[in-house]
Structure 1
Amino acid sequence: MVEKLICPSMMCADFGSLKTEVAALDEAGADVFHIDIMDGVFVPNYGMGLQDFEFIRKATKKMIDVHLMVKNPADYVEKFIDMGADIVYFHPETDQHPARTLDKIKARGKKAGIAINPGTSIETIQELLYLADYVLVMTVNPGFAGQKYLPYVDNKIKKLIAMKNEYDFELVVDGAISNERVETLSKLGVKGFVLGTSALFGKNESYKEIIRNLKGENN
């Protein structure tokens, strides 16, 4: 059985019952709580806030990652590490010195992640792969939930899978990830799956049933 990291995208959760949502996802076997932070500049939207992050961090002992969709992410990295982030993702094109920012994250004992937009080529970030623990491939354009999966990103995913052993990183995908894509991409070598409304939230089944099925524990 291929090991999978199931990462609920918390911007898709029911914020009227956030404490219940976190507890149910935690108990269901979620591995990493995924928090999207947006500044309305790098992407045309605003995501979750500091208070949301703090609340979820206090509500679970599971790992939490933060996806910084912001300009000048180096200004925010240590803030979120101090608040309890275990993995920090940022977009290298928004940072003047991305290698330094990756080093800053790792120096604090946390996992450093690069986020790659659909239009970002591997060649532009290849040297940074030596410093990354995780690579988050966006399979939709970042900023909004409920978009359609972009099939042309599959070629980029396959190229990164072929590179991950040499550079020693794990691959995570984010954006319109359905049950079928979890199964297909996991077999290819993808480790982590950020899940929103395509596979996890707003379904008739319980979180426990969905996550057990995704991990193959009901087979």
Structure 2
Amino acid sequence: MIKNIYLVEHTAESARQVTARRAAATAALSAPPDVRPVRVAVCAALPDVLPVPRFEAVVLEWFVDDAHQARFASWLASPEGAAAGEGLRATAMATAEAGQLVVAREHPMRGADWLERRWREGGTAVKHMAIARRAAGLSRDEFSELWRNRAGKVGATPIPAEARGNAYVQNHPLPTDGHDWPFDAVNEVYFDDLEGLRARIAWFAENFDGVGEDDLVAESWFVAVREEIL
């Protein structure tokens, strides 16, 4: 599937931006049936679990394919889209202009059955997310291939079962015509509860210093979130 990924950075204005982004995401569900996202989720940071997050929230919109996402983008820019919810178009445009929108192809690497139950049941879930920029010298395609081959490991070190979660999803930004996305990777690792989430955070705190991944990632940020399906 294709995802719109909106990343709201932690700033003095972030609370207002999160409120506006949530309102925009809710309004997106009022689009015509063949236009609206398959699902929409708001992922709110949990600073008591992982302090000082760079991102206050991540909003996700899922589409069946590129054509579906393109129809939504066209609707969003139309008078009908703007009228669907106050500030919908303005919020989306402001987010894109701020460089915090990534349109990506979703690659569930593990836990497809668990994810199917998650989407069927709805509600909330907790997850660990990483947002990264690729290492210098890597093309987007080279980075994507290397990242897929590293699934389940940090450098050459396997991630143990207690830190792997129920499902692992990689989101690879789509190719563009001369435009570069602000980030090259967004991943998601789902857990049943905060205990499992904290176990992963603790393992990464002990085992990840960036050195084993410096041939892959130039910069990366972790955030613990509670995901709510709208």
Under a length normalisation based on structure 1, what TM-score does the superposition of the two structures give? 0.30
Select the structure of larger CA radius of gyration: 2
Higher helix proportion (structure 1 or 2): 1
TM-score (norm 2): 0.29
Higher RCO (CA < 8 A, seq sep 6+): 2
